[in-house]
Amino acid sequence: MIIALFPGQGSQTPGFLSPWLDLDGVRERLLEFSDAAGVDLIAAGTEWDTDRIRDTAVAQPLIVAASILSYEVLGQRADVTFDGMAGHSVGEVAALVAAGVLSAVDGMKLVGIRGRSMADAATAADTGMSAVVGGTQSDVLDALSAANLTPANYNGPGQIVAAGAREGLNALAESAPRGTRVIPLQVAGAFHTEYMAAAVGALREASASVAVSDPAATLWTNSDGSVVVDGAAALSLLVNQVSSPVRWDLCMESFAAAGVTALIEFAPAGTLTGLAKRGLKGVPTVAVKSPDDLSGAIDLVKGTAA
């Protein structure tokens, strides 16, 4: 079982799209995606600095555009087939596109709305997110509850992301559970919590007008790591995910149960293959960060398939 992975917010870095623009057709595709998302993705991915691409309204369409582009380029380079798809947080939009649930342009329209609506929702209160690394899950969850925080991301063994009011995050950092490190994340608000309820409504309204097909490959959902076989259900879960926890830990458990043999993470890659090295030890991975990584991805897919 060869699985394509698509990363979430925070994986972008200044200038990371520059090498992709040297490829035929990429600039034209990015212009199309920019129109759909309402963001100048070429400037964002090649010229803008860290602060500008950290903006939720920019980061989300930028990441999804890069994932879709790198996935399409790989398909143009070689006849490769993936048995399954999954995306982390906003990466789930790219996963639905790769699985054929959404067209690429509709996916970009939705992620543009998702990014803007989540950015707007984040201005309503002083909130944020912090990664809690290490410790036992029960101790971490008890500490989050005591600080009135929500476990927004279960990223795998020894990593939970806490989200909520800034004062609660400060209290968690001051009284970190034994054996943990609390690392503040550079995000605008408490994503995947009730603070994003307004964004759910905006995305649900927008999603009502897009065409949907059933997945053409196995598609796992962040909600609980299960397989989704109905396109409308997959889109509904994608919408609700905005204010619900990301259960990437359960996704990785499902990959293992399905007999995963290889993982390819698409641009801007590295985060999910890093989690897999801890949560799925021994499974070969390739992170497609630039066009130079495409040959390694093709070799892994073809070698595993053979």
The answer for residues whose C-beta is within 8 angstroms of residue 60's C-beta and 6 or more apart is 9, 90, 111, 112, 114, 115, 118
Catalytic residue among 11, 89, 117, 243: 89
- CB burial of 18-43 (b: ≥16 within 10 Å; e: otherwise) equals eebeebeebeebbeebbebbebbbbe
Tokens for 185?
A: 């994340």
Tracing tokens 């997110």 back to the chain, one arrives at: 129
> Which residues sit opposite 2 in a β-bridge?
262
| Strand-pair category, 159-165 with 285-287 | unpaired
- Dihedral angle, C-alpha 254, 258, 260, 264, nearest 10 °: -60
Phi, psi for residue 90 in degrees, rounded to 5 = -60, -20
Give the C-alpha distances (Å, rounded to integers) separating 59 from 55, 64, 93. Answer: 6, 9, 13
Catalytic residue among 67, 130, 192, 223: 192
Instruction: Enumerate helices (H) and strands (E) in the chain, giving the number of each.
Output: 13, 10
Give catalytic status of residue 226 as yes or no: no
Give catalytic status of residue 145 as yes or no: no
Which sign does the torsion angle of CA 149, 154, 157, 161 carry? Answer: negative
Q: Which residues are catalytic?
A: 89, 192
